[in-house]
Structure 1
Amino acid sequence: MKSSDNDIPITAVWPGKPYPRGATWDGQGVNFALFSENAEKVELAIFDDTGRRERQRVTMRERTDHVWHCYLPEARPGVAYGYYVHGPYKPEEGHRFNPHKLLVDPYAKDFVGELRWNDALYGYTVGHKKEDLSFDRRDSAPYTPKCRVLEAAFTWGEDRRPEIPWHDMVIYELHVRGFSMLNPQVPEPLRGTYAGLGSAPSINYLKRLGVTTVELLPVHSFLNDRYLAEKGLQNYWGYNTLGFFAPEMRYSHSRKVKEFKTMIRSLHSAGIEVILDVVYNHTCEGNQFGPTLSLRGIDNAAYYMLSEQNRRYYADFTGCGNTLNLMHPRVLQMVMDSLRYWVEEMHVDGFRFDLASALARERGRVEHLGGFFDVIRQDPTLNQVKLIAEPWDLGHGGYQVGNFPLGWAEWNDRYRDGMRAYWKGDGGLIGEFATRLTGSSDLYGRSGKRPHASVNFITAHDGFTLHDLVSYNDKHNEANGEDNRDGNNHNLSWNCGVEGPTDDAAVNELRERQKRNMLATLLLSQGVPMLLAGDELGHTQHGNNNAYCQDNEISWLDWSPAPERHALHQFVQKLIALRCSHPTFRRRDFFEGRSLLGSRLKDVLWLKPDGSEMGAAEWEHEHARCLGVYLAGAGLDDVSRHGEPLQDDDFLILFNAHENEIAFHMPPIEGEAWTVQIDTVHPRGEAPPTPHGRGEPYALQGRSLVVLSRPMHAPALPPPSPE
């Protein structure tokens, strides 16, 4: 068997450079650089190509500004490596160095091998009476994945970012594995992989659906939690990061990083953006009882926020045991280097930041203009990509919806909860409903933001799918092995009369209509809509609202044909096409409720069922669940990207969350008759094209939504004033 270049012994060790961090192949050799402020000695361990056998160990003697570095002129791409770091083991002082534990490079761009859970992975002796204050001397290398030096060369060709304007976006949140795992149109070897997502069947599906942007659940390298592995489960979502630079190889058919790049290039060629859901708030090492795999053993006191009362413990604002210490300049630099790497080297178009409030914490408090946001704002690479915050964490003061800086969009859970509650039939919500429908100006308008700062969603990966939202009153998470204790108990769901699957035709028809109601509301609201992958196919998780550990048919999208699936899919296609064809639903600025050209007609008009404008008192009625909104095409006051004035039709949207039919009268506004575009009573939203003139009633069925349109009515100019 031919030997690899990496079988050649390393005989030369040069000083190298402290930057860039990580292992960098420059065409002649490899530079290694690792930050550790409190380490006393650092050893670089070189392994064979499989990562199973250590070939030799190199002491890194150079140290510049707390960065340990060396250059190996004989090393080549593909070499496997890790670090042993020496220093004090004093947990009560925040130090957890253990030179017997092989550590993963925080800047590793590729891995070989997988973690195998063993007690040797812990810096302390598991089961010892002194707990984490004890010290374990077993070598963890046999159980730890090894870093691998990457050859980064890739032919991008004419790849360009689609650069879709915020207000034109339709986001589709998907899981790389779950999206194509059961899709018969995708070649079987590629299912559940980056290549599967980048395949022609997947891209054609996304294009036909009409989405502009895919938001991928975490693809950074992550670990399966030990307690899940012992139960035969998998960490499916991936919010358990091991490496901030390396794509997860479980999703790679070829086991090569370039497969991820090929996927990006293919999606871009179809005009589809890629946003990554990223986890920089915590790592997979957990609390003081977690394993020593990387940052904990490299420099625990620098990389993590520690308790001010006792540095043995971690400040946990994430619910995952630890919180990264972005107050430390080198840790902040690591996060920024990672973000730039994914933009510059991997060509992604933006990021959704998990528990983003944790990134703003300085000395335990959320600082909106803290170091992290200041650095991103001035970074010439990162201030040009899409930045989306999950605007909360689990600590005190962590709920920050509406408070993130300019340039950021946010997941708007106020939108989610308001829309769920309204269509569920809760009373006293029409004011909240109207505010969320028109872009949440109460949250974003006061700080100079635009409607696109609100990423609107009704369902996401965390919680019920849309089908389950209308099929279950309660969560059913027994498959997770936690006696149904996990997952949110407050779902604002309604099972339409029966819990779970049923043969009752009336219940099933109502469930399908409720899905159409919420999808139509979402896609016709101001702001950026986000669809959960599979909602357009009626995907069910059988009532599991926390399927984070279900790497199986519970989470994988079901592509099997069914009439109701096909009808719902066509309905969503129709809605997206309607949204994309009419700038009225994609406004760049908030409605002002102002009069148009001096007439009594406003850019937005809220209507009672009798067709008259709602007054202040009507918004307070507890029983009110029916209203209409008139969107004047003449009220756009916007221009195209080429500077041309935009015009659009007039639209009238009627909402009825009552159980009973209501005769909703067309408003007494001059202009042509109204034509129905969508009525959610019908499976595909189709409705008879009967015209409806001023004052005529429309039979608005219970639990339904109707969209009507007509050519724009330009209000007459007021008469000239006498000279």
Structure 2
Amino acid sequence: MEPTLDLSESLARRLGTPADKLVAWPGKPFPLGASWDGEGTNFAVWSPKATGVEVCLFDHGGVERRVRLAEQSFHIWHGYVPGVNPGQRYGYRVDGPNNPRNGDLFNPAKLLIDPYAKAIDGHFLDAPACYADNNQDSAPFVPRSVVVLDGFPWGGDRRPHTPWDDTIIYELHVRGFTQTHPDIPEELRGTYAGLAHPAAISYLKNLGVTAVELMPIHHFLDEPALQRRGLRNYWGYNSIGFFAPHAAYATHTGSLGGNQVREFKAMVRALHAAGIEVILDVVYNHTAEAEPDGPMLSFRGLSNPDYYRLNPDDRSRYLDYTGCGNTVDARIPTVLQLMMDSLRYWVTEMHVDGFRFDLASALARSLHDVDKLSSFFDTIHQDPVISQVKLIAEPWDVGDGGYQVGEFPPLWTEWNGKYRDTVRDFWAHGAGGVRDLAYRLTGSSDLYGDDGRLPFASINFVTAHDGFTLRDLATYERKHNEANGENNRDGTDDNRSVNFGVEGETADSTITTLRLQQVRAVMTTLVLSTGVPMITAGDERWRTQGGNNNAYCQDNPTSWIDWRDRDEVADLQTLTRRLIELRKQSPVLRQRAFFEGHPVNGGDGCKDLAWFHPAGKELDDGNWFDRSLRTVGMYLDGRGLRHRGPRGELIIDDSYLLLFHSGDDAIDFTVPALPWGTSYEVVVDTTEVGGLPASGEGSDLVDGGDTITLDARSVLVFRVHRS
């Protein structure tokens, strides 16, 4: 629907007001935002200390017409403008006290985005007019909010409701995943429609993942510093619209304002039809307004002291627990309401299946401390909508005491940073022995077993958008972020990686073979660990970022998925698919409850979980504290678990022996004799292409008590036989 051209005369006729004194009808304070009723639009915005608010309407030529909102209820300024239809671009100008020492920054020269805008159109262009200490008009340089029509033909859309223990997450970037895909039409690449294309969905289905975790799709902006360096914010952790899908990921963002909303919904509908859940990476902890001298775009001009955590010793400055210049203040009821309204909107109106909360510790801070019983948690836990979807915390921020892995309350799962560090350490340099590794392989009971949570509270990952790719973990020991324009100062130095003697790519086939073998071993470790595996898009395609471990501003092939066919790609894809299928077939590989180390009901004394030394004996206390030990066997007895077969028949689960060896040289390993197993069938061998046993699956059998040779940096997975 095309927006009406809002000339002063036509607005005056609708409102019954002189053209130079346009005043909206009273309207209603709720719901907040812009709400179209078929004949006009109600505008409502919260600004408790404002002395005047105008809604600014823009026609196609950019001509602005201002309409005063004269009514105020509960600190909400509101008014109804007849004839304003979906597609109409608008913003707010807000007057009030300007006293930076007290945190008040009202400035009617600044056009503000509606915090409840469901679509945002246009770009932020860095210019002095955008900053709070400048009285120039910012309108030519900032985006507009857009009135949208919420209706959408969802048809029979049904959420997959995948149980946590069956979930396999695939973290991807909407643009980067589709930007170069040869089977997606060029006009759809880099968009929601591209991700909804059958070629993209077929790939996800064939891989076997059950959920996509989308990197930020809340509307975000490019930071001034990046614009000055000729770069763009690619990752999207710079939000300004908590209700609005990012406009640049829509195929058409021109005259049909709000098309990004319809395209996003169509993408969700298509993914659901394929049985794939949609989880959003959401950034409520800070906004694109950055530090105090950053641009005034929305919250700062509406109520700076309420939306942000101010330094109590100097209220012109912010408390920054995010490393991004500001921290949103979730302690303020109306700000907390904004977050909850946003989350409910994405669940009820956009049909998403869950959220991953960026720097979640920053949202939970009460005063300076992270408070697990803060109003943020309480409100989510009692909400009948939000509490029923998947909730994932990134359990840290950059402030003191912000590292909270294992400390979030029930209902929450967590990105398990200790899993990442332990698995990287084991495979890179074997640091620390196998004691901590055993916890990570079996669901991290030391972190999640004491508060009623289950193994799936642990979101296991080795790589994510932030840091090296899986290939780069085996190729670089130092970051190479020069292209970011920060003299390689950005990004972590704590990579826990190994380069096998050469920093970067090499033509040495011995090294490249070893690197590929290392990646197979790490992928096998990840997918077969108890908990919820999260695979980073492209890791199964041998993706590299050239050693850049902070590619947040690399909107180019450095970050995009490479869809070219290569031997390494076929190798890793085959392995990943087989591992996921093996996990799906065997409940013992995706436990709902923590292992107990107790005998199962087989009557032979075998425990549900046992650990073996290369000498063929169970690990003793000395072995557990041997920091030089780089080899361990993990025995999983599935006889206590049952599941339904393809025809509904009851099947007793298999048992497995997994051998992990991160040493640089081969080692002999004696597999357990009876009662543990009569023989062992090799089902995964990471020294072989695709993880396929050299003689074919099911053909390699090892007798219990035999001694085998484990190659350097390898994983062997055996199915146990007892007859």
TM-score by length of 1: 0.94
CA deviation profile, 1:45-73 (whole Å, cap 9, x unmatched) = 111145x210x211111111111111122
What whole-Å deviation, never above 9, does each CA across 1:563-615 have from its counterpart, x for those lacking one?
Answer: 11111111111111111111111110000011223642110010111221111
Equivalent residue of 2:35, what SS?
strand
Correspondence for 1:610 = 615
What amino acid maps onto 1:608 in structure 2?
H
C-alpha separation in 2, matches of 1:41 and 1:164: 49
When structure 1 is superposed on structure 2, of 41-50 and 653-662 the one drifting more is 41-50
Is 1:676 aligned to residue 682 of structure 2? yes
Q: Which residue does 1:231 correspond to in 2?
A: 229
Quote the offset at 1:644 in angstroms.
9.4
| Whole-angstrom distance in 2 between the partners of 1:645 and 1:38 | 66
Contact persistence 2:100–2:316 (CA under 8 A):
yes
Q: Distance in 1 between matches of 2:83 and 2:647?
A: 55
2:359 matches 1:349: no
Describe how 1:30-109 pairs up with structure 2 within 5 A.
30-49=41-60, 52-54=62-64, 56-109=65-118
- 1:295 alignment partner in structure 2: 299
- Contact kept, 8 Å, 1:425 with 1:625, in 2: the verdict is no
Deviations 1:231-250 (A, max 9, x none): 11110000001111111111
- Check conservation: 1:37, 1:67, Cα contact below 8 A: yes
Q: Which of 526, 532, 538 is equivalent to 1:528?
A: 532
**C-alpha RMSD of matched pairs (Å):** 1.8
AA aligned to 1:249 is A
Matched, 1:477 2:505: no
Contact 2:430–2:663, Cα closer than 8 Å, also in 1: no
Give the conservation status (yes or no) of the 8 Å contact 1:648–1:712.
no
Deviation at 1:641, TM superposition (A): 14
Contact 1:49–1:79 (Cα < 8 Å) also in 2: no
> Alpha carbons of 1:3 and 1:686: their partners in 2 closer, same or farther (altered >3 Å)?
closer
Does 2:707 correspond to 1:707? Answer: no
Report the Cα distance in structure 2 between the residues aligned to 1:306 and 1:645, rounded to whole angstroms. Answer: 60
Find out whether 1:653 has 2:663 as its counterpart.
Answer: no
For the 8 Å contact 1:633–1:712, the answer to whether it is kept is: no
Are the structure 2 counterparts of residues 203 and 371 from structure 1 closer, same or farther at C-alpha, using a change threshold of 3 Å?
A: same
1:363-378 map, 5 Å? 363-378=367-382
Q: Deviations over 1:1-28 (max 9, x none)?
A: x994655425323211111100011223
Distance 2:642 2:49 in 1: 59
Are 1:610 and 1:664, in contact at CA under 8 Å, matched by a contact in 2?
Answer: yes
Distance (whole Å) between structure 2 residues aligned to residue 281 and residue 640 of structure 1: 45
Tell me, yes or no, if the aligned pair for 1:5 and 1:76 is still in contact at 8 Å: no
Identify if the C-alpha distance between structure 1 residues 539 and 432 changes in structure 2 by more than 3 Å, giving closer, same or farther.
Answer: same
Alignment partners' CA distance in 1, 2:410 and 2:198? 37
Change in Cα spacing, 1:661 to 1:114, as seen in structure 2 (3 Å) is: same
1:157 and 2:155 matched: yes
Q: Displacement, 1:144?
A: 1.4
**Structure-1 separation of matches of 2:712 and 2:718:** 17
Matches within 5 A, 1:315-714: 315-597=319-601, 599-636=604-641, 647-670=652-675, 671-687=677-693, 688=695, 689-711=699-721
Given that 2:3 and 2:88 are in contact with CA atoms closer than 8 Å, whether structure 1 keeps it comes out as: no
Amino acid at match of 1:57: R
Which consecutive unaligned segments of at least 5 residues does structure 2 have? 16-23, 254-258
Compared with structure 1, are the counterparts of its residues 428 and 123 closer, same or farther at alpha carbon in structure 2 (3 Å cutoff)? closer
Preserved contact between residue 308 and residue 328 of structure 2 (Cα < 8 Å):
yes
Contact 1:650 1:712 in 2 (8 A): no
Q: Does 1:204 align with 2:210?
A: no
Which of the numbers 138, 155, 173 marks the counterpart of 1:140? 138
Q: Retained in 1: the 8 A contact 2:33–2:44? A: yes
SS at match of 2:639: helix
Q: What is the one-letter code of the residue matched to 1:701?
A: D
CA displacement at 1:364 relative to structure 2: 2.2
SS at match of 2:573: helix
Counterpart AA for 2:93:
Y
Tell me the equivalent position of 2:18: none
Query: Which residue, 294, 307, 315 being the options, matches 2:311?
Result: 307
Q: CA deviation at 1:698?
A: 2.0
Q: What is the distance in 1 between the residues matched to 2:344 and 2:240?
A: 18
Offset at residue 552 of structure 1 (A): 0.3
Shift of 1:672: 4.0
| One-letter amino acid of the structure 2 residue matched with residue 110 of structure 1 | A
Q: Distance in 2 between matches of 1:708 and 1:113?
A: 56
The answer (yes or no) to whether the contact 1:6–1:49 under 8 Å persists in 2 is: no
Percent pairwise identity: 51
Between 593-602 and 35-44, the greater mean CA deviation after superposition? 593-602
Q: Deviations over 1:140-174 (max 9, x none)?
A: 11111111100111100000110000010110000
Counterpart contact for 2:157–2:273, Cα < 8 Å: yes
Write the letter of the residue equivalent to 1:472. Y
**Comparing 213-222 with 613-622, which one deviates more in the overlay?**
613-622
1:675 Cα deviation after fit: 0.6
- Deviation of the 1:700 alpha carbon: 1.2
Tell whether the 8 Å contact from 1:653 to 1:705 is kept in structure 2 after alignment: yes
Q: Could you tell me whether the CA contact under 8 Å between 1:6 and 1:79 is conserved in 2?
A: no
- How far apart, CA to CA, are the structure 2 residues paired with 1:588 and 1:6? 59
Report the CA distance shift for 1:18/1:650 in structure 2 as closer, same or farther (over 3 A): same
1:33-54 deviation line (CA, Å, top 9, x unaligned): 000111111111111145x210
Partner of 1:109, secondary structure, is coil
- What residue number does 1:121 align with? 130
| Cross-structure match for 2:268 | 264
CA contact 1:422–1:625 (8 Å) conserved in 2: yes
Q: CA deviation at 1:536?
A: 0.3
- Alpha-carbon deviations, 1:649-701, whole Å to 9, x = none? 11000111112222212212234421100111101111132211110122211
CA contact (8 A) 2:600 2:637 kept: no
Give CA deviations for 1:324-366 in whole Å, capped at 9, x if unaligned: 1111100000000011111111111000000000110122221
User: Contact 1:6–1:78 at 8 Å: present in 2 too?
Assistant: no
Distance (whole Å) between structure 2 residues aligned to residue 83 and residue 535 of structure 1:
44
CA distance in 1, matches of 2:88, 2:180: 36
For 2:418 and 2:688, how far apart are their aligned partners in 1? 29
The more displaced of 85-94 and 662-671 is 662-671
Distance 1:299 1:154 in 2: 34
Task: Determine the C-alpha separation between the residues in 2 that align with 1:77 and 1:686.
Answer: 56
User: Could you tell me whether the CA contact under 8 Å between 2:5 and 2:60 is conserved in 1?
Assistant: no
Provide the secondary structure at the position in 1 that maps to 2:11.
coil
| Residues 189 and 290 of structure 1: CA distance in aligned 2, closer, same or farther (over 3 Å) | same
Judged with a 3 Å threshold, the aligned counterparts in structure 2 of structure 1 residues 450 and 528 are, in CA distance, closer, same or farther, namely: same
Whole-angstrom CA distance in 2 between matches of 1:417 and 1:183: 32
How far does the alpha carbon of each residue in 1:254-302 deviate from its partner, in whole angstroms, 9 at most, with x for none? Answer: 2212011111000000000000000000000011110111000011011
One-letter amino acid of the counterpart of residue 521, structure 2: N
Distance in structure 2 (CA, Å) of the matches to 1:516 and 1:509: 11
Output the amino acid matched with 1:20: P
